[in-house]
């Protein structure tokens, strides 16, 4: 049993902070929490004095990935995926929902999730709770592909024995995309098997298709035009959540120059996972390619549009869960830093119009609710003791989420040095 004493506690529900709090943790769960005038450490508890610090719930990344970099890793992928998971943990990210594996890393992904849930294997400790969607449902041609509504149902059914935690769909705005009836069938089949659905979109028309088909989560911002009042009203009516992934869109183009944060000590703590990509992105030839690639440059107005679309959604009270799209196919999508980018996303959410409290709630209790992660996302009696001790108050500056003193997952202190991998 441990008792953390003296800190300010932001519990993740949006409630006012508790000053001079005591948090009692027994067998990994919070068994008492409140002001030190009402909660005192029980006899036998190991008291950890964190006076002057701020405790927040561990961050939950609603749109994560842990893909290996297949440009340098021929497999097996386990060590690299473990390293990515452990890197999330040292950044205070204590639960993640991977919104899609690739065919090549799906088996390892579910292996890691399943062994973790049994309390064994390489990510039993010092890693975030892992929740996972399998390979996305998207248009695949051919007799064993996914073209029709029946194909989509079969594709979804494939995830049932895997016990996928979510189903991810893809609409890319291309002519081959799944048709609206196929999208609706995939979502319907997912719901039949008690799985929620998240859809990758860029375009408003595709968001509308997914919403009409009953999707639960829009997994990126609408980035081609202003989101209209009718769509916002429909999201509200159907309780469709949004994951903006602003940092993902920024990551597409910012490496046209050497970013200042490559020298930030907080960024450098992830170098064991980041080094290869940092090397590639530090090459002036890479930066030149970013400056001259039309697709990369087109993402600049897309980010601006996504940011513009966020404020009316915040104001309408749409459920917004923090997600960064970190760790996605790093051989292709460079610079989506697992761990670091969740803090960058929080900062961007505040720049786009959230209060620091709203951003923290989106990354904790809201993310847990949207991702159906029981027992995490808020600091309350009965919940897991997944928490981050900060040296500064993030309500006065959201960048203070980077002032990490220590991270606890299930009441166990994360080893901040332990992310070395073997490949
Ligand atoms: Zn993604």
Q: Where do the domains of the chain lie? A: 1-58+377-414, 59-132+219-374
In the numeric block, which tokens belong to residue 64?
A: 């994560």
The confidence score (pLDDT) of residue 270 equals 96
Q: 325 C-alpha vs ligand 1 centroid, how far in Å?
A: 5
Q: 213 C-alpha vs ligand 1 centroid, how far in Å?
A: 20
Q: 59 C-alpha vs ligand 1 centroid, how far in Å?
A: 17
**Inter-axis angle of helices 149-157 and 180-192, to 10 degrees?**
30
The confidence score (pLDDT) of residue 98 equals 98
Q: 231 C-alpha vs ligand 1 centroid, how far in Å?
A: 23
Q: 142 C-alpha vs ligand 1 centroid, how far in Å?
A: 25
- Return the number of other C-beta atoms located less than 10 Å from residue 4's C-beta: 29
The confidence score (pLDDT) of residue 329 equals 96
Identify whether 76 is preceded by a cis peptide bond (ω within 30 of 0). Answer: yes
**Rounded-to-integer distance, Cα 343 and Cα 405, Å:** 15
In the numeric block, which tokens belong to residue 270?
A: 């992830």
Q: 44 C-alpha vs ligand 1 centroid, how far in Å?
A: 45
The confidence score (pLDDT) of residue 278 equals 98
Q: 177 C-alpha vs ligand 1 centroid, how far in Å?
A: 17
Q: 204 C-alpha vs ligand 1 centroid, how far in Å?
A: 18
Query: Scanning the structure block, which residue is given the tokens 């990369």?
Result: 296
The percent helix, strand, coil of the chain (3-state, each to 5) is: 40, 20, 45
Q: 275 C-alpha vs ligand 1 centroid, how far in Å?
A: 21
Q: 324 C-alpha vs ligand 1 centroid, how far in Å?
A: 8
Q: 328 C-alpha vs ligand 1 centroid, how far in Å?
A: 6
**Rounded-to-integer distance, Cα 200 and Cα 195, Å:** 16
**Rounded-to-integer distance, Cα 211 and Cα 347, Å:** 28
Phi and psi at 120, nearest 5°, equal -130, 175
Q: 57 C-alpha vs ligand 1 centroid, how far in Å?
A: 23
Q: 34 C-alpha vs ligand 1 centroid, how far in Å?
A: 37
Query: Scanning the structure block, which residue is given the tokens 């859809």?
Result: 199
The confidence score (pLDDT) of residue 123 equals 97
Q: 63 C-alpha vs ligand 1 centroid, how far in Å?
A: 6
Handedness of CA 135, 136, 141, 144 (dihedral sign): positive
In the numeric block, which tokens belong to residue 39?
A: 């909660």
Q: 26 C-alpha vs ligand 1 centroid, how far in Å?
A: 35
**Rounded-to-integer distance, Cα 388 and Cα 377, Å:** 12
Q: 396 C-alpha vs ligand 1 centroid, how far in Å?
A: 30
**Beta pairing, strands 29-35 & 46-49:** unpaired
Sequence-ordered alpha helix ranges (H) in 196-283:
204-212, 229-238, 246-253, 265-268, 271-281
Q: Do domains 1-58+377-414 and 59-132+219-374 have the same CATH topology?
A: no
The helix/strand count (H/E) of the chain reads as: 15, 15
Q: 18 C-alpha vs ligand 1 centroid, how far in Å?
A: 35
The confidence score (pLDDT) of residue 418 equals 62
> Angle at Cα 11 formed by Cα 6 and Cα 13, nearest 5°?
160
The confidence score (pLDDT) of residue 417 equals 81
Q: 1 C-alpha vs ligand 1 centroid, how far in Å?
A: 38
Q: 391 C-alpha vs ligand 1 centroid, how far in Å?
A: 31
**Rounded-to-integer distance, Cα 118 and Cα 81, Å:** 18
Q: 33 C-alpha vs ligand 1 centroid, how far in Å?
A: 35
**Rounded-to-integer distance, Cα 11 and Cα 56, Å:** 6
Q: 109 C-alpha vs ligand 1 centroid, how far in Å?
A: 15
Q: 64 C-alpha vs ligand 1 centroid, how far in Å?
A: 6
- Chain centroid to Cα 106, Å, comes to 18
Q: 100 C-alpha vs ligand 1 centroid, how far in Å?
A: 7
**Inter-axis angle of helices 229-238 and 294-315, to 10 degrees?**
60
Q: 99 C-alpha vs ligand 1 centroid, how far in Å?
A: 6
Choices 2.30.40.10, 3.40.250.10, 3.40.50.620, 2.60.40.1180: CATH for 1-58+377-414: 2.30.40.10
Residue among 337, 352, 357, 416 at smallest CA distance from 57 = 357
Q: 327 C-alpha vs ligand 1 centroid, how far in Å?
A: 8
Q: 408 C-alpha vs ligand 1 centroid, how far in Å?
A: 26
- Chain centroid to Cα 99, Å, comes to 9
Q: 355 C-alpha vs ligand 1 centroid, how far in Å?
A: 25
In which residue ranges of the chain is pLDDT below 70? Answer: 418-423
Q: 198 C-alpha vs ligand 1 centroid, how far in Å?
A: 10
Question: Which secondary structure element, helix H or strand E, spans residue 389, and what is its range?
Answer: strand 387-390
b/e code 116-141 from CB counts within 10 Å (16+ = b): beeeebbbebbbbbbbbbbbbbbbee
Q: Which residues pair with 197 in a beta bridge?
A: 167
**Rounded-to-integer distance, Cα 412 and Cα 407, Å:** 8
Choices 3.20.20, 3.30.1560, 3.30.70, 1.10.3470: CATH for 59-132+219-374: 3.20.20
Question: Which residues have C-beta within 8 Å of that of residue 204, sequence separation ≥ 6?
Answer: 222, 224, 225, 227, 228, 231
Phi and psi at 129, nearest 5°, equal -60, 130
């Amino acid at each position: 049993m441990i008792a953390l004493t003296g800190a300010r506690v932001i519990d993740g529900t949006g409630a006012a902070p508790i000053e001079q709090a005591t948090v009692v943790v027994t067998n990994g769960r919070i068994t008492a929490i409140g002001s030190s005038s009402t909660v005192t450490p029980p006899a036998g508890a190991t008291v950890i004095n964190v006076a002057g610090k701020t405790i927040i719930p561990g961050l939950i990344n609603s749109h994560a990935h842990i893909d290996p970099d297949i440009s340098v890793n021929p497999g097996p992928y386990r060590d690299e995926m473990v390293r990515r998971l452990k890197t999330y943990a040292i950044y205070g990210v204590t639960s993640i929902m991977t919104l899609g594996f690739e065919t090549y890393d799906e088996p390892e992904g579910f292996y890691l999730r399943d062994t973790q849930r049994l309390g064994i294997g390489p990510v039993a400790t010092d890693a975030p709770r892992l929740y996972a969607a399998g390979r996305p449902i998207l248009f695949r041609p051919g007799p064993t592909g996914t073209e029709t509504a029946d194909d989509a149902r079969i594709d979804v059914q494939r995830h049932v024995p895997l016990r996928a935690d979510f189903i991810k769909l893809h609409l890319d705005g291309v002519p081959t995309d799944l048709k609206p009836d196929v999208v609706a069938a995939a979502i319907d089949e997912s719901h039949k098997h008690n799985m929620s659905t998240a859809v990758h979109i860029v375009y408003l028309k595709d968001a509308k298709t997914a919403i009409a088909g009953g999707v639960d989560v829009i997994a990126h911002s609408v980035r081609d035009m202003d989101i209209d009042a009718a769509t916002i009203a429909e999201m509200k009516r159907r309780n469709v959540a949004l994951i903006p992934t602003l940092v993902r869109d920024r990551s597409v183009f910012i490496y046209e120059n050497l970013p200042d944060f490559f020298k930030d000590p907080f960024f450098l703590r992830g170098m064991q996972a980041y080094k290869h990509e940092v090397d590639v992105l530090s090459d002036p030839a890479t930066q030149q390619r970013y400056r001259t690639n039309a697709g990369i440059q087109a993402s600049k107005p897309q980010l601006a549009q996504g940011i513009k679309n966020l404020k009316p959604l915040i104001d309408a009270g749409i459920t917004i869960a923090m997600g960064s799209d970190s760790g996605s196919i790093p051989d292709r999508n460079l610079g989506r830093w697992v761990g670091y980018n969740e803090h960058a996303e929080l900062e961007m959410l505040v720049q786009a119009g959230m209060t620091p409290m709203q951003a923290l709630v989106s990354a904790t209790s809201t993310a847990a609710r949207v991702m159906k992660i029981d027992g995490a996302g808020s600091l309350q009696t009965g919940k897991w003791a997944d928490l981050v001790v900060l040296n500064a108050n993030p309500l006065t500056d959201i960048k203070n989420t980077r002032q990490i003193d220590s991270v606890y997952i299930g009441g166990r202190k994360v080893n901040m040095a332990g992310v070395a991998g073997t490949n």
